[in-house]
Amino acid sequence: MLVEVRVQSLAMDQTTKTPVVILQEVGGERFLPIWIGPAEASAIAMRLAEMEISRPLTHDLICSVLTSLGGALQKVIITKVQKSTYYAELIVRRNGELISVDARPSDSIAVALRVDARIFAEDKLLEVGTIEIADEETAGESIIGQLQTIERDPEMGPDELKEYLRGLNPEDFGRFTP
């Protein structure tokens, strides 16, 4: 069964110094943390902050290519996890046909946010990945370790978020290692 989720926040796993996108069940209390790369965290953060850029980035390019080829992203589905690696599918409609494209969840989320496509996860992933958030003081603390939220405070408006993101250092997203 598929469950609709939304990006609840981006965080930094203080143990591994790795960005984590935290998805929350729409209308529910379950969460799904997915560890992602710094480039994808940056792409997601920039979109959440509604930051405008002068030239298209990779995820913007993907959206442009899809549109230019007559396709439209219908939804993203986070399908499974194997050996700590999450898998996702982009569901694209083109000429009345639905096409499933294998993709990383982080890239899929970054693209979905750009075109306002809905994001879904298999219910069983929310059961496995659920984290407990007891209150504001302990938000992000759970079996997944200490997470330091780096943006997406629901009270923070787009302008405040832009300023916050401008103040981040590249080290805040971890070190990129290919």
pLDDT digits (tens, 9 = 90+) for 22-62: 999 999 989 999 999 999 999 999 898 888 888 888 999 99
CA distance linking residue 139 with residue 62, whole number of Å: 34
Q: Identify the burial level of 76 via C-beta atoms within 10 angstroms of its C-beta, where 0-12 means exposed, 13-18 middle and 19 or more buried.
A: buried
pLDDT in tens, 86-101: 999 999 999 999 999 9
- In the DSSP assignment, the letter for residue 15 is T
Q: How many residues does the chain have?
A: 178
How many other β-carbons are positioned within 10 Å of the β-carbon of residue 38?
19
Q: What six digits make up the tokens of 132? A: 């407990």
Model confidence at 138, pLDDT cuts 50, 70, 90, reads very low
Model confidence at 128, pLDDT cuts 50, 70, 90, reads low
pLDDT at 172: 54
Task: Find the DSSP H helices in the chain.
Answer: 38-48, 58-68, 105-115, 123-129, 158-166
Structural domains in the chain, sorted by start: 2-173 (3.10.690.10)
